[in-house]
Amino acid sequence: MDERTITLILTAPDSGETKITCDSVRFTVPDGERNRNTGGSVGIRPGHTDALMAVAPCTVRAFLKGRPVFSCAVGPGLAMIAPDTVSILTGNCGLPDEEKA
């Protein structure tokens, strides 16, 4: 079993910076202009290639060994992905969801 982890860094003006150690992150990307490119759920795991993605208003979820370790509602923003880091910059971030699902 792969024991590699990634760091989720969530940054918003209203909540500062939060760092979570996990092995997968899930969030939603928006539909493209005039719905040409469909959005939807994205999952990031350790070793992902560098990428820059728009983030739709959604709940960002982090998992470790298949179990939820963090969940937070966010507004629109950007996700910068590296092999060992997912950094999400958003205009607002709600408190972590009580429900970890």
Q: Which of 42, 44, 49 is nearest to 9 (CA)?
A: 44
Nearest-CA neighbor of 95 among 28, 42, 7, 18?
Answer: 18
pLDDT digits (tens, 9 = 90+) for 21-37: 999 999 999 877 765 66
Percent of the chain with pLDDT over 90: 71
DSSP-derived secondary structure letter, 23: S
**What domains does the chain contain, in order, with CATH numbers?**
6-96 (2.60.15.10)
Q: And the tokens for 70?
A: 């963090």
**The pair of three-digit structure tokens given for residue 78, joined into one six-digit string:** 């950007």
What is the average per-residue pLDDT within 53-72?
95
